[in-house]
Amino acid sequence: MTDVGSKRDLRRHPRQRLDVRVRIAWQNSLGELRSCEAACLDISSSGLSVAIPESIPHRAIVHVRGINAQIDTSASVRYCRRHGMKYLLGVEFAGGFEFMGNAKKPRWD
């Protein structure tokens, strides 16, 4: 039985809390390269979520590079929601990557 107010977790892969900083880079609607530093909130084998200072459009392709972790990959924006003075950004990794501790290693399938 589920509590009335609870939400069911529908994610395909389990998430792991990850306290690292990443740099997110993308092109805006004018084709200009934008980037910002972000606090990573959690990670799974298929994506991660971060807190960022500005909005990024849904389905935008971003590049995620770890500042103090071995993350270096492209991803697609799944959601970007305002949360107080920041935005919560969820991205899905493009291609095969496997999360390994505080590093992501390519998975060659």
pLDDT the model gives residue 105: 46
CATH superfamily for 26-106 is: predicted glycosyltransferase like domains (2.40.10.220)
Distance between CA 33 and CA 17 in Å, rounded? 29
**Nearest CA to 84 among 62, 57, 42, 52?**
52
pLDDT in single tens digits along all 109 residues of the chain:
344 444 455 556 667 787 889 999 999 889 999 999 999 999 888 899 999 999 999 999 999 998 877 888 999 999 999 999 999 999 999 875 655 444 444 443 3
pLDDT for the residue 78: 95
Buried b (16+ CB within 10 A) or exposed e, 19-40: ebebebebeeeeeeeeebebeb
Instruction: Extract the tokens encoding 12.
Output: 């395909």
